[in-house]
Amino acid sequence: MDKPRFVVVGGGLVGSMVAALLGREGYQVEVIERRGDPRQDAMESGRSINLAISARGLNALAQLAVGDDFLSLGVPLYRRAIHAPDGAMSYQPYGKAGQAINSFSRGELNRALIVSAGRSANVSLVFNRRCTDIDVQTGRVTHVDAATGADERVSTGVIVGADGAFSVVRGALQKREHQDYSQDYLAHGYKELFIPARPDGSAALERNAMHIWPRGRFMMMAMANPDATFTVTLYLPMTGPNGFDQLNTPEAVQAFFVREFPDAVPLMPTLIEDFFGNKTGAMVTVRTWPWRAGDRAVLIGDAAHAIVPFYGQGANAGFEDCLEFIESLRRQPGDLGAALARYQERRKPNTDAIADLALANFNEMRDHVASARFLWRKRFEHLLHLVIPGFIPLYPMISFSLIPYAEARAKAERQNRVIRWTGWALAAVAALAVWAGLRR
> Which residues of the chain form contacts with ligand FAD (CB under 6 A)?
9-15, 32-35, 51-52, 130-131, 162-164, 168, 190, 233, 281, 301-303, 309, 312-316, 318
CA nearest to 323, candidates 108, 62, 6: 62
Q: Give phi and psi for 91, each to the nearest 5.
A: -130, 145
Residue 290 preceded by cis peptide, ω within 30: yes
CB 283 within 8 A of CB 186: yes
Instruction: Quote the least distance from Cβ 190 to ligand FAD, whole Å.
Output: 5
Is 10 or 290 the residue whose CB approaches ligand FAD more closely? 10
Is 172 or 415 the residue whose CB approaches ligand FAD more closely? 172
Instruction: Quote the least distance from Cβ 420 to ligand FAD, whole Å.
Output: 30
Q: Where are the alpha helices (H) located in 98-157, listed in sequence order?
A: 106-118
Is 10 or 393 the residue whose CB approaches ligand FAD more closely? 10
Is 244 or 415 the residue whose CB approaches ligand FAD more closely? 244
Is 32 or 329 the residue whose CB approaches ligand FAD more closely? 32
Is 12 or 95 the residue whose CB approaches ligand FAD more closely? 12
Instruction: Quote the least distance from Cβ 348 to ligand FAD, whole Å.
Output: 15
Instruction: Quote the least distance from Cβ 2 to ligand FAD, whole Å.
Output: 26
Q: Please, which residues have CB within 8 angstroms of residue 229's CB and are 6 or more apart in sequence?
A: 47, 48, 194, 195, 196, 197, 203
Using DSSP's 3-state secondary structure scheme, residue 300 falls into coil
Can you spell out the DSSP letters for 311-348?
GS-HHHHHHHHHHHHHHHHHHSTT-HHHHHHHHHHHHH
CB 312 within 8 A of CB 54: yes
Distance CA 312, CA 354 (A): 10
Instruction: Quote the least distance from Cβ 132 to ligand FAD, whole Å.
Output: 7
Instruction: Quote the least distance from Cβ 34 to ligand FAD, whole Å.
Output: 4
